[in-house]
Amino acid sequence: MQQPFHLMIKPTGATCNLDCTYCYYVHKESQTPPAWRMSDEVLETLIRQYLAAQPGPEVTFAWQGGEPTLLGVPAFRKILAVREHYRQPGQRVVNTIQTNGTLLDEAWAVFLKENHILVGISLDGPGDLHDQYRVDKGGKTTYARVIQAIELLRSHAVEYNILCTVNRANAEHAERVYVELIRHGQHLQFIPIVERAGDPDPAWPAGAMTAWSVDPQAYGRFLSTIFDRWFAHDIGRIHVQLFEGQIGVSLSQPAGLCVFAETCGDAVVAERDGSIYSCDHYVYDTFLLGNVRSENVSDLVAKPVQRHFGNAKRESLPQQCRSCRHLHRCWGECPKHRFAETAAGEPGLSYLCGGYYHFFEHTAARLDALATGIGHGIPAWETARRWGTGVSPRAVGPNDPCLCGSGKKRKKCCGSTSFRNPFWSRRFSVENIARP
């Protein structure tokens, strides 16, 4: 039976209206074919093949770039019509779009809302930090335009999450960044910026780190500081993908993020000419699997070379990772970042190891406690509230009064529904994270 896989589609390739200093993709504008957008023929082929290949009832389309909103609303309406045409009976389709936000207007907001499209919008913190690197092609800052876009999404009740890169400029300002982000959203993602100088093709020898790459230790401190604040004040109100994913790991669920999975290779990317690559971080000739104009995307994903790519994440782990107490949480992180040496001089350690190790040391006990509580029907916020007081949170039975104070039995109230975070695609079966 066909295994499900995830497809990220780049309908405008690397073409973008911004020129963010740290973008690993924008330099590909000059490398890819002259047409700036995916043709209708390629789009239709991709959509048809992808829908046919998914065995489950739910299929997620992830539209990314470059900047996918450059396509415009009419083109996206056509895409949704094609998707509707090929959708199988009973198949539910989720669309997500990652945008810098600067081109969003009233028409976009209405379209996104009408079609239940989940939006990821990039914001790196308050203006002075965001604008360090996120500038347009003319060098103009973008913070004000992004905030305007977020307000627009809010006013139309569009579901969105904020994607914040953690880089050299903002990593030492965790508190300020977090306060800014939660002023503007409830769902947060953090992505570390790790780039070597020169062409980032992994086949190239390691060069010096770029000036905007995050320092590993600073990244660990950044995550730990935000975790402390979230755990103490915001758990259940603010959803941080990385933290909630790690609670899932404590519950023996698969990691929500590919970088923390034992293996990878199930998330491929479609470039604008229909080429399929092993991963968004590996859009290089060496990792080209083929093209949907001549082969089916499911056959490309099933190729032995792609299985090898995914399994190599586990099989190439250095000894330091294999014996690490946090291996089950980290799995050596993303192979793209494994260009450091272990303490024993073995190659293949993640550049970010020091940061992640610090973060896991700092948070593992609390992550496990939250998971244990969830396993006993105790909401995460209740466990967090009692943490350090010496009082165990009380287990709640289905016939006990619900902790939200409604006066109803738990099974008739918060305990009756499973919470699903649409952005992280993670289900916790108890009332878990969400605060009433």
Point out which residues bind ligand SF4 (CB under 6 A).
258-259, 264, 267, 279, 281, 313, 320-321, 324, 326-327, 330, 332-336, 350, 353, 356-357
Of 76 and 339, which has the nearer Cβ to ligand SF4? 339
Strands 118-122 and 92-99: parallel
Residue of 161, 177, 84 lying closest to 125 (CA atoms): 177
Query: Min. distance of Cβ 349 from ligand SF4 in angstroms?
Result: 6
Query: Min. distance of Cβ 247 from ligand SF4 in angstroms?
Result: 18
Q: Please report, in angstroms and rounded to a whole number, the separation of the first and last CA atoms in the chain.
A: 40
- Per-residue CA distances from 318 to 40, 340, 359, 396 (Å): 45, 10, 20, 43
Of 120 and 332, which has the nearer Cβ to ligand SF4? 332
Between CA 160 and CA 375, with CA 424 as vertex, the angle to 5 degrees is 130
Of 234 and 333, which has the nearer Cβ to ligand SF4? 333
Query: Min. distance of Cβ 319 from ligand SF4 in angstroms?
Result: 9
Query: Are 214 and 169 a contacting pair, CB within 8 Å?
Result: no
Query: Min. distance of Cβ 66 from ligand SF4 in angstroms?
Result: 17
Query: Are 159 and 118 a contacting pair, CB within 8 Å?
Result: yes
Of 218 and 267, which has the nearer Cβ to ligand SF4? 267
Angstrom distance (rounded) from CA 90 to CA 397: 35
Angstrom distance (rounded) from CA 247 to CA 222: 19
Query: Min. distance of Cβ 309 from ligand SF4 in angstroms?
Result: 8
Helix (H) or strand (E) holding 270: strand 267-270
Query: Are 149 and 121 a contacting pair, CB within 8 Å?
Result: yes
Of 242 and 353, which has the nearer Cβ to ligand SF4? 353
Query: Min. distance of Cβ 111 from ligand SF4 in angstroms?
Result: 29
Structure tokens at 124: 């790196």
Angstrom distance (rounded) from CA 242 to CA 356: 11
Residue 280 falls in the annotated catalytic set: yes
Residue 72: DSSP 8-state:
-
Structure tokens at 422: 């649409």
> Virtual CA dihedral for 113, 114, 118, 121, nearest 10 degrees?
-40
* CB count in 10 Å sphere of residue 290: 19
> Active site residue: 280, 299, 368, 400, which one?
280
Angstrom distance (rounded) from CA 388 to CA 147: 38
Query: Min. distance of Cβ 344 from ligand SF4 in angstroms?
Result: 12
* CB count in 10 Å sphere of residue 352: 25
Of 38 and 258, which has the nearer Cβ to ligand SF4? 258
Of 359 and 387, which has the nearer Cβ to ligand SF4? 359
Q: Which residue numbers are catalytic? A: 280
